[in-house]
Amino acid sequence: MSIPTLEKTMEKHQTDIASDSAEAESSARGIFTSQTGQALIALGTLFKHVPPFNESIDKNTGETLISIGKKLKGNR
Distance CA 23, CA 40 (A): 26
Q: Which residue has the higher pLDDT, 72 or 6?
A: 72
The predicted pLDDT at position 76 comes to 52
Domain boundaries, the chain: 3-74
Write the pLDDT tens digit of every residue in 5-60.
667 666 766 666 655 666 666 788 889 999 999 999 999 999 999 888 888 888 89
- The pLDDT of residue 36 is 95
Cα–Cα distance for residue pair 51/28, rounded to 1 Å: 36
- Greater model confidence, 24 or 70: 70
Which of 39 and 74 is assigned the larger pLDDT? 39
| Neighbouring residues of 65: CB distance < 8 A, sequence distance ≥ 6 | 40, 41, 43, 44, 47
